[in-house]
Amino acid sequence: MEPDYVNESSGRRFYRAEQVKEAALVMRLRAAGFSVRSIAQVLPVVDDPAHIAVVLARHHADLAAKSAAVHQELANLDRLRAYLKGHPEMSEVKIETLPSLKLATVRRVIDSYDAEGELWNELMDLLRHSDAVLPSSGLSGATFHDSDYRDSGVDIEVWVEVTESFEPPQGLGFSEQPECEIVSATLRGDYSQVPAVTQEIGKFIAERNVETGPMFNIYHVGPAQNPDPTSWVTQLCFPLRASQ
């Protein structure tokens, strides 16, 4: 930006008030990811609310697409790290006691495991229209009711812990799960490592000749808390049958 006046003896530059305002706008545009070329195109229309709204909306969409691409690359990098390591980053497999839980749930058959997010969106929306109370550090997770892996039409139930029983609106369920023994291991990293952890748990179960119920995950840290897949903490659980 050309100064309004330059003091020849000191070299100090002086700007008009409107130039300072424009300079501040340029700095904000740069901080928002606009290129120098884009800024030159934005400045002439900045006083046109309709036009600038379109420009900002388009730029927001571009940034969101780049962000999604970066998150996907991070997930792919995490998968590569797990592949090259040769084994998942997980805790030892063990039998432990899961305390009794009161749960708000949504269960239905969806297209694929990748569509689990649809159930979470549905659950959160239903909870907003209910009188359910969630504890500050309650558990959340998903139960997989199919007896084996399926390519489509998967029966999944997502759930969050609640403090007490409530009258659920249509579409939302409530259940009380008694204390139970589980075989579990905790995974650190993205969900591509889940099959490897499940295999290790399967070996543990086979060696001890015990029977288990439907697998469920407890999401201690997931995408809702941190978009970085390397930070995710998932506890994979298989409840022991009551007869054991």
CA distances from 56 to 42, 76, 93, 157, 189 (A): 9, 30, 50, 39, 35
d(Cα 196, Cα 86) in Å, to the nearest integer? 10
d(Cα 90, Cα 209) in Å, to the nearest integer? 22
Q: Is the pLDDT of residue 206 over 50?
A: yes
Q: pLDDT per residue over 77-125, tens digit each?
A: 876 776 676 678 899 999 999 999 999 999 999 999 989 999 999 999 9
The single-letter code of the amino acid at 5 is Y
Domains of the chain by start residue, with CATH: 5-47 (no CATH), 94-239 (3.20.80.10)
On whether the pTM is more than 0.75, the answer is no
d(Cα 45, Cα 25) in Å, to the nearest integer? 13
Q: For the chain, give the mean pLDDT.
A: 89
d(Cα 185, Cα 79) in Å, to the nearest integer? 19
Across the range 208-213, mean pLDDT stands at 94
Q: pLDDT per residue over 156-177, tens digit each?
A: 999 999 999 999 999 999 999 9
The single-letter code of the amino acid at 85 is K
Q: pLDDT per residue over 191-203, tens digit each?
A: 888 988 999 999 9
8 A C-beta contact, residue 55 and residue 42: yes
The per-residue pLDDT for 170 is 94
Cα angle: 183, vertex 188, 193; to 5 degrees = 80
